[in-house]
């Protein structure tokens, strides 16, 4: 009994107990966050959601959404809702209910509700003026399908990685980017958003300008003219001859000359209009033509070889030479 | 207290102290962790990439076109306090800077360079590359013999009396009237070799890299005047310099083609200003966009390699051969300006109803001074008096106006409605005048064209769209849409007597779209849509022909029926496994006859494309994931051409004896792409990230050329022709096949990232890429010029068959250089196998 009394009431035992509590408290201090770390009121979230979570949250501080000095900065609940049942799990419920609004791929939150969480602030941005009724909006694309909010580097906002995000849905364009001819997306020197406005636009195909040609001229202004001798398909629509994402023909052409040109041009004297001189795999003309009185020679080399039609009619986008009606000068 | 008790007391005190210390330390550590986790990371990366081969195609955009070591680097520095932040970034090609106070203002500045490597095999004898005047070396034959075929001989009655054994003019290279003929005229003997390149001329060909560089400077400023008002400005200035290849027709009456090194010196300056307003339910934006383009090189003058001082001659058939000019000159892209104002305004009416309106007005001008119409040749340097150039510049002006109105509404949660209207007009107000100049004076041509007016193309598009999207049950929705597009085309300033400049002045297209979406099941969702479009051209005129013998069959103005199907299915049986498949099918059919006789279709007849995409992602664990994809595209277009002259009599005559006077080509592009990516992160206790990828692309373009021929001839003795009296009619034998064009690539990519210390990461990468391609564009014609005019050279997918090399290239020493041909340039189809190893160190802080 004496020994027992010594044990329970001895100063060493008391100190040991204090030490144990202190250690436990110290540990608890490491586990339970009672102070906001990034956003106003985030303590109730970060006490559970730390960087070991499946969806790390603290990196939001590295983004514009984490700048508290900006009075417009949202809180966790601005986007996810107050989520009372998620914060305080109701008794008798096996699994903790999800927050009011979630943004993962398999979220149960309706896309329009997810997007409204973003648009409540961002709808005022001029780039979002055309969102309503845009191709992405009407196809149930959620902001979070493309954007990552809880990370310092949002892939879709970086030129080098943006295409990778777009290819998640636009898989044919991913294949196109590996064809013989393509824009320099794979090298990270160009982004999809250089041509497309993913949040809506006044142009077709979500293009950044009012028309296809206006968009192309932002980088290819030398094709804009107006020229003295215009080539109407070129001024009408670049995509009459070109594809935009990738082609097995050079210069992003739809098909190869001379046939591409012959889609519209039926006459070019003997030899060109009929495909003569087009060589086959054995090197003989695919269509052997003999025309009384004609000169032979240019067709084999000029039509199938080298720059083909553009070997002579090089100003296919228009010529400004007074003797350039044939688009040769 | 005993010593023993004292010991326990001291130990316990130490324990408390340690515990308290531990508590403090943990709290501090937690705070430090939080600080690290919430502070933007700064990083500096330096490294080297070593490649084992030269290849312009491998380095097309990544600057790794040369074998050897390439220094790479990246930097990202973030700083600031409160709302005021800055960010500096940089790599081997440029840098960016951003500074601002979030919510108040932001300034951005950046510079970037992008190289494009176009060819590393191009050769040219021209001197002065990079300037606006290209000259040939002194060794160049300055008075090359003009070689033309006489058409007077009639020694052979085969082929309707067309073929004969006439060889080239004395002093010229070989001419083969009909290479396929089995009769005696197959191989006309050479009668001289003055047309061939001399040894000195061949030696003058030098490798000339074809490459361009875009250097872009960006400056942006934005300022929030108040919570409602914001103003922003962005300037982008770009200089494009370098050398590209360009073809030029020059020489004799049949037009030779020379591939020149074209100097590029472009300057493009773009400015955008915006004023935004947003308050309550309304918003508006007023903006200006300006773009000014200038080519610092206004023209390119080049010496004519086929120059001849021979006097004009007239053959017995009446063909006139003019002396060739001693030089040619063409006009480069004219400087131009575009200024556009636009206004966007919108209003939220509540109840999820929103109206957005846009209006823009643009003015595009071009007043570059014309070059002289004549060539710079001594013979035709002075513009003949019969040539008329009515102005000193175009006085070009195009007004573009765009209006649009869009109303969206969600009256009930399950129903989305959309109605929109858009009008887009291009009104070309450029001067229109009579230019009585030749089509191509560099051929020695001096006769003026038969249609001297320049055409100021204009058009007006009006587009209306209504759409309803209804979620009729949980997870299921259907969408219906109807769209109309009316196009009006014309040319301003034409004389009243002139015919229409377009095949169809009006066209109307109506499209109906239906879509069904299903996301009923948690693991499966999909959608399918169908679009049908019918375009009708009110009055299609097929023989719009302003220039001699040019029959136009513009497909973009004619009737068209389009059917489009798109489908997608996604299946995610577990949270770690995801499959998706998409399918796209588009068919275009051009249904209006575009033959002068009005009953046959010429030009583009139909188009069909399909695309399959399969994708699978498997997350083996939180740290390891695997992705595989496969894409299969098949595109085909059917084109029909008129093999005969355009006279109805000839066409009917050919139709009477055989399958008609027409030929066709089925152009296909078949591309298969597949890839596999494995990514493992946080291995070795979070220190190692690994990724491995394989990508393969197979692109082939088989073009099947067929001719409706009454001579089913492929080999052996030529059949006897039926007795026909045809004037200027073609007789052909069908030989199937156009050389396949292909571009195949395989790439293996391995990367490893190892966290060496808390602040230091080592990156190691390996890339193996193999690329093979073939393209008849690069066959002998470019390597050797045409060996002769009509006879087929020995073609192979790897270039010329000749083994003699000049300057280490494939340019054969026995290249000939006849009249009517292509000037050799030695350009090669890209083929390479390149390995690249990269090592980099990243310091983060």
pLDDT along chain B (845 residues), means of 10: 54 53 48 69 95 94 94 93 93 95 95 94 91 90 49 28 32 33 30 48 83 97 95 98 91 68 97 94 95 96 75 49 71 97 94 93 97 61 67 96 96 93 97 81 57 87 96 91 96 82 88 92 91 88 58 83 96 91 95 52 87 95 94 92 51 46 79 96 93 96 64 37 37 48 93 94 97 75 43 30 31 35 75 96 94
Which residues have CB under 8 Å from B186's CB, separation 6+? B176, B178, B179, B180
> Do A12 and B12 count as a contact with CB atoms less than 8 A apart?
yes
Q: Which among A54, A286, A305 has CB closest to B777?
A: A305
| pLDDT of res. B814 | 33
Instruction: Return the closest-CA partner of residue B248 out of B259, B235, B238, B237.
Output: B259
3-state secondary structure of B560: strand
Chain A CB contacts of B571 under 8 Å are none
Q: Which among A179, A288, A329 has CB closest to B330?
A: A329
Alpha carbons B325 and B373: distance in angstroms, whole number: 13
Chain A CB contacts of B373 under 8 Å are 321-323
B769 touches chain A (CB under 8 A): no
Q: Which among A56, A224, A286 has CB closest to B336?
A: A224
Chain B CB contacts of A262 under 8 Å are 603, 639, 641
B37 touches chain A (CB under 8 A): yes
| pLDDT of res. B206 | 86
B246 touches chain A (CB under 8 A): yes
B469 touches chain A (CB under 8 A): yes
Instruction: Return the closest-CA partner of residue B555 out of A243, A248, A239.
Output: A239
B433 touches chain A (CB under 8 A): no
Alpha carbons B101 and A69: distance in angstroms, whole number: 9
> Do B622 and A129 count as a contact with CB atoms less than 8 A apart?
no
B640 touches chain A (CB under 8 A): no
Q: Which among B163, B180, B291 has CB closest to A285?
A: B180
> Do A10 and B5 count as a contact with CB atoms less than 8 A apart?
yes
Which of B154, B334, B603, B831 to mutate to test binding with chain A, by most A CBs within 10 Å of its CB?
B334
A293, closest residue in chain B (CA to CA): B151
Tokens 């100003």 correspond to: A315
Determine the Cα angle at A54 with ends B74 and A33, to 5°.
Answer: 95
Which of B182, B376, B781 to mutate to test binding with chain A, by most A CBs within 10 Å of its CB?
B781
Q: What is the DSSP string of B574-612?
A: ETTEEEEEEEEEEEEE--S--STTSSS--EEEEEEEEEE
Q: Which among B247, B430, B778 has CB closest to A311?
A: B247
Number of Cβ within a 10 Å radius of residue B598: 12
Q: Which among A18, A62, A308 has CB closest to B40?
A: A62
A58, closest residue in chain B (CA to CA): B38
**pTM of the complete model:** 0.85
Min distance A314 CA to chain B CA atoms (Å): 6
**Residue A222 carries which DSSP code?**
G
Which of B254, B300, B588, B612 to mutate to test binding with chain A, by most A CBs within 10 Å of its CB?
B254
Tokens of B575: 């949270």
Min distance A92 CA to chain B CA atoms (Å): 25
Q: Which among A27, A286, A322 has CB closest to B370?
A: A322
Alpha carbons B64 and B92: distance in angstroms, whole number: 12
> Do B24 and A26 count as a contact with CB atoms less than 8 A apart?
yes
Which of A175, A215, A220 to mutate to test binding with chain B, by most B CBs within 10 Å of its CB?
A175
| pLDDT of res. B161 | 23
Q: Which among B19, B116, B246 has CB closest to A22?
A: B19
Which residues have CB under 8 Å from B385's CB, separation 6+? none
Q: Which among A227, A236, A288 has CB closest to B732?
A: A288
Tokens of B625: 């994931």
Which of B330, B524, B566 to mutate to test binding with chain A, by most A CBs within 10 Å of its CB?
B330
Chain B CB contacts of A290 under 8 Å are 159-160, 162-163, 177-178, 730-731
Which residues have CB under 8 Å from B557's CB, separation 6+? B489, B502, B503, B504, B507, B537, B540
A294, closest residue in chain B (CA to CA): B151
Min distance A10 CA to chain B CA atoms (Å): 9
Q: Burial, B69: exposed, middle or buried (Cβ in 10 Å; 0-12, 13-18, 19+)?
A: exposed
Chain A CB contacts of B464 under 8 Å are none
B86 touches chain A (CB under 8 A): no
Min distance B170 CA to chain A CA atoms (Å): 16
> Do B293 and A270 count as a contact with CB atoms less than 8 A apart?
no
B434, closest residue in chain A (CA to CA): A322
Which residues have CB under 8 Å from B41's CB, separation 6+? A62, A152, B76, B78, B844, B845
> Do A71 and B160 count as a contact with CB atoms less than 8 A apart?
no
On average, the pLDDT of chain A sits at 79
Min distance A312 CA to chain B CA atoms (Å): 4
Chain B CB contacts of A292 under 8 Å are 160-162, 728
> Do A323 and B19 count as a contact with CB atoms less than 8 A apart?
no
The pLDDT tens digits of the residues spanning A15-70 come to 455 445 444 444 444 444 567 777 878 888 888 887 776 667 888 888 889 888 88
3-state secondary structure of A31: helix
- Tell me how far the alpha carbon of residue B721 is from its chain's centroid: 45
A248, closest residue in chain B (CA to CA): B699
Determine the Cα angle at B281 with ends B278 and B282, to 5°.
Answer: 45
Alpha carbons B818 and B167: distance in angstroms, whole number: 12
The pLDDT tens digits of the residues spanning A146-173 come to 999 988 889 999 998 999 999 999 999 9
Number of Cβ within a 10 Å radius of residue B73: 13
Determine the Cα angle at B35 with ends B34 and B40, to 5°.
Answer: 115
Q: Which among A14, A312, A329 has CB closest to B331?
A: A329
Alpha carbons B32 and A42: distance in angstroms, whole number: 18
B180 touches chain A (CB under 8 A): yes
Instruction: Return the closest-CA partner of residue B699 out of B767, B799, B631, B612.
Output: B631
Grade residue A92 by pLDDT with cuts at 50, 70 and 90. confident
Min distance B498 CA to chain A CA atoms (Å): 17
Where would I find the beta strands (DSSP E) of B191-281? 206-207, 210-224, 229-250, 256-279
| pLDDT of res. B114 | 95
Report whether B149 contacts A295 (CB < 8 A): yes
A312, closest residue in chain B (CA to CA): B249
- This model of the complex carries an ipTM of 0.85
B320 touches chain A (CB under 8 A): no
Where would I find the beta strands (DSSP E) of B493-555? 506-518, 524-537
């Amino acid at each position: 009994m004496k020994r027992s009394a010594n044990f329970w009431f001895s100063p060493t035992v008391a100190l040991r107990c204090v030490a144990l509590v202190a250690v436990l408290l110290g540990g608890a201090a490491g586990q339970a966050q009672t102070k906001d770390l990034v956003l106003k009121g985030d303590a109730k979230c970060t006490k559970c959601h730390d960087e070991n979570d499946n969806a790390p949250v603290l990196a939001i501080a590295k983004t514009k959404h984490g700048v508290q000095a900006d009075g417009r900065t949202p809180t966790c609940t601005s986007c996810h809702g107050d989520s009372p049942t998620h914060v305080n799990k109701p008794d008798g419920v096996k699994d903790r209910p999800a927050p009011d609004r979630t943004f993962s791929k398999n979220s149960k939150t309706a896309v329009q509700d997810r997007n409204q969480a973003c648009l409540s602030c961002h709808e005022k941005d001029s780039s979002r003026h055309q969102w309503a009724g845009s191709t992405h909006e009407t196809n149930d694309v959620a902001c979070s399908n493309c954007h990552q909010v809880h990370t310092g580097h949002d892939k879709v906002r970086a030129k080098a990685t943006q295409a990778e995000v777009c290819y998640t849905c636009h898989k044919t364009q991913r294949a196109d980017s590996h064809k013989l001819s393509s824009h320099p997306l794979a090298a990270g020197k160009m982004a999809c958003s250089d041509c497309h406005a993913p949040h809506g636009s006044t142009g077709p195909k979500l293009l950044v300008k009012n028309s296809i040609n206006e968009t192309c001229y932002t980088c290819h202004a030398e094709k804009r003219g107006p020229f003295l001798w215009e080539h109407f398909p070129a001024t009408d629509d670049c995509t009459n001859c070109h594809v935009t994402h990738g082609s097995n023909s050079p210069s992003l052409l739809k098909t190869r000359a001379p046939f591409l040109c012959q889609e519209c041009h039926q006459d070019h004297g003997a030899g060109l209009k009929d495909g003569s001189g087009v060589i086959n795999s054995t090197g003989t003309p695919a269509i052997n033509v003999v025309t009384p009185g004609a000169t032979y020679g240019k067709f084999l080399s000029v039509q199938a070889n080298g720059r083909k039609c553009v070997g002579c009619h090089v100003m296919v986008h228009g010529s400004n030479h007074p003797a350039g009606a044939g688009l040769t000068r | 207290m005993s010593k023993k008790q004292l010991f326990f007391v001291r130990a316990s005190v130490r324990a408390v102290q340690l515990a308290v210390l531990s508590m403090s330390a943990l709290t501090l550590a937690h705070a430090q962790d939080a600080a690290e986790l919430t502070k933007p990371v700064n990083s500096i990366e330096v490294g080297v990439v070593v490649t084992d081969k030269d290849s312009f195609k491998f380095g097309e955009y990544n600057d790794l076109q040369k074998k050897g070591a390439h220094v790479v680097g990246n930097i990202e520095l973030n700083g600031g306090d409160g709302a005021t932040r800055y960010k500096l970034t940089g790599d081997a090609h440029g840098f960016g800077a951003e500074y601002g106070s979030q919510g108040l203002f932001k300034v951005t500045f950046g510079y970037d360079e992008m190289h494009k490597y176009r060819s590393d095999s191009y050769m040219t004898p021209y001197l002065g590359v990079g300037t606006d005047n290209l000259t040939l070396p002194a060794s160049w034959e300055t008075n090359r013999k003009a070689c033309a075929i006489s058409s007077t001989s009639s020694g052979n009655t085969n082929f309707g009396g067309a073929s004969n054994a006439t060889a080239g003019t004395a002093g010229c290279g070989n001419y083969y009237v009909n290479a396929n003929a089995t009769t005696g005229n197959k191989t006309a003997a050479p009668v001289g070799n003055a047309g061939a390149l001399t040894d000195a001329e061949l030696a003058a060909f030098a490798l000339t890299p074809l490459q361009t560089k875009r250097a872009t400077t960006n400056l942006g400023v934005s300022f929030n005047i108040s919570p409602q008002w914001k103003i922003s400005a962005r300037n982008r200035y770009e200089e494009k310099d370098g050398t590209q290849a360009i073809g030029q027709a020059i020489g004799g009456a049949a037009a030779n083609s020379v591939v020149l090194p074209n100097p590029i010196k472009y300057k493009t300056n773009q400015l955008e200003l915006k004023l935004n307003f947003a308050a309550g339910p309304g918003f508006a934006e007023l903006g200006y966009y300006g773009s000014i383009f200038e080519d610092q090189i206004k023209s390119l003058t080049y010496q004519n390699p086929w120059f001849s001082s021979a006097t004009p001659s007239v053959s017995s058939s009446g063909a006139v051969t003019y002396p060739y000019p001693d030089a040619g000159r063409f006009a480069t892209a004219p400087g131009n300006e575009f200024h556009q104002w636009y206004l966007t305004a919108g209003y939220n009416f509540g109840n999820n109803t929103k109206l957005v309106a846009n209006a823009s007005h643009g003015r595009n001008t071009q007043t570059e001074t014309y070059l002289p119409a004549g060539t710079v040749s001594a013979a035709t340097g002075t513009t003949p008096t019969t040539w008329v150039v009515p102005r000193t510049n175009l006085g070009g002006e195009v007004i573009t106006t765009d209006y649009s109105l869009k109303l969206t509404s969600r009256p009930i949660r399950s129903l989305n409605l959309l109605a929109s209207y858009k009008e887009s007009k291009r009104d070309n107000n450029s001067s229109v005048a009579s230019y009585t100049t030749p089509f191509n004076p560099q051929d020695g041509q001096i006769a003026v064209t038969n249609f001297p007016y320049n055409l100021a193309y204009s058009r007006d598009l009006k587009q209306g769209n209504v759409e309803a999207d209804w979620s009729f049950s949980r997870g299921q929705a259907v969408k219906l849409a109807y769209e109309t597009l009316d196009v009006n085309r014309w040319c301003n300033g034409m004389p009243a007597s002139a015919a229409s400049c377009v095949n169809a002045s009006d066209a109307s297209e109506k499209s109906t779209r239906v879509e069904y979406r299903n996301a009923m099941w948690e693991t499966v969702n999909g959608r399918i849509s169908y679009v049908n479009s019918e375009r009708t051209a009110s009055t299609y005129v097929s023989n719009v022909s302003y220039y001699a013998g040019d029959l136009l069959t513009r497909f973009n103005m004619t009737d068209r029926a389009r059917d489009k199907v798109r489908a997608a299915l996604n299946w995610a049986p577990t949270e770690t496994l995801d499959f998706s498949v998409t399918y796209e099918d588009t068919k275009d059919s051009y249904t209006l006859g575009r033959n002068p006789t009005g009953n046959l279709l010429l030009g583009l007849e139909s188009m069909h494309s399909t695309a399959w995409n399969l994708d699978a992602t498997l997350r083996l664990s939180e740290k390891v994931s695997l992705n595989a994809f496969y894409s299969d595209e098949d595109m085909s277009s059917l084109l029909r051409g008129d093999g005969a002259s355009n006279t109805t009599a000839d066409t009917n005559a050919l139709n009477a004896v055989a399958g008609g006077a027409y030929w066709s080509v089925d152009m296909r592009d078949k591309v298969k792409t597949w890839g596999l990516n494995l990514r493992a992160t946080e291995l070795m206790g979070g220190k190692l990230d690994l990724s491995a990828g394989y990508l393969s692309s197979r692109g082939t373009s088989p073009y099947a050329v067929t001719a409706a021929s009454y001579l089913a001839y492929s080999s052996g003795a030529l059949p006897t022709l039926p007795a026909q009296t045809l004037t200027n009619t073609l007789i052909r034998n069908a030989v199937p096949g156009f050389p396949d064009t292909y571009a195949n690539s395989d790439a293996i990519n391995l990367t490893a990232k190892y966290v060496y210390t808390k602040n230091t990461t080592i990156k190691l990468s390996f890339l193996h890429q193999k690329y093979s391609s073939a393209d008849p564009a690069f066959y002998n014609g470019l390597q050797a010029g045409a060996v002769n005019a009509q006879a087929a050279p020995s073609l192979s997918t790897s270039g010329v068959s000749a083994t003699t090399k000049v300057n280490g290239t494939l340019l054969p020493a026995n290249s000939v250089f006849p009249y009517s041909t292509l000037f050799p340039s030695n350009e090669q189809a890209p083929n390479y196998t390149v390995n690249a190893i990269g090592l980099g160190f990243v310091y983060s802080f």
